[in-house]
């Protein structure tokens, strides 16, 4: 969270310091177009690379992220969301699903 917050403040500072200068150089419509492209690229990154964690416990999230196999698949399944599992029980369940 600290890294994300620092990055957010840094980008906001960068935009605040350069907005007027860049607007005078290339015009407001081009600046808005560039910001739109950057926002769409960020959205695409989040959709492709950031797993869904809604309704998952911290233990489930850490177990899934440790496996490094979460790309392209949902992070938590519906059946796992409803259960309050500890990491040991999750590891047992995953071993059972492999067989």
The residues near 23 (Cβ < 8 Å, ≥ 6 apart) are 31
Angle, alpha carbons 56-60-62 (nearest 5°): 120
Q: How far apart are CA 86 and CA 46, in angstroms?
A: 28
pLDDT tens digits, residue range 73-82? 555 544 444 4
Domain ranges of the chain: 1-50
- pTM of the full predicted structure? 0.53
User: In terms of pLDDT, which residue wins out, 97 or 10?
Assistant: 10
Instruction: Categorize the per-residue pLDDT at 85 as very low, low, confident or very high, splitting at 50, 70 and 90.
Output: very low
User: In terms of pLDDT, which residue wins out, 92 or 61?
Assistant: 61
Q: Answer whether residue 16 shows pLDDT above 90.
A: yes
């Amino acid at each position: 969270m600290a890294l994300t917050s620092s990055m957010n403040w840094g980008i906001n500072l960068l935009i605040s310091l350069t907005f007027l200068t860049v607007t005078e150089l290339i015009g407001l419509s081009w600046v808005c177009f560039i910001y739109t492209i950057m926002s769409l690229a960020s959205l695409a990154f989040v959709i492709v690379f950031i797993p869904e964690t809604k309704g998952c416990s911290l233990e489930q999230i850490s177990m899934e992220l440790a496996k490094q196999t979460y790309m392209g698949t949902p992070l938590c399944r519906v059946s796992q969301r409803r259960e309050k599992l500890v990491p040991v029980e999750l590891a047992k369940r995953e071993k059972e699903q492999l067989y």
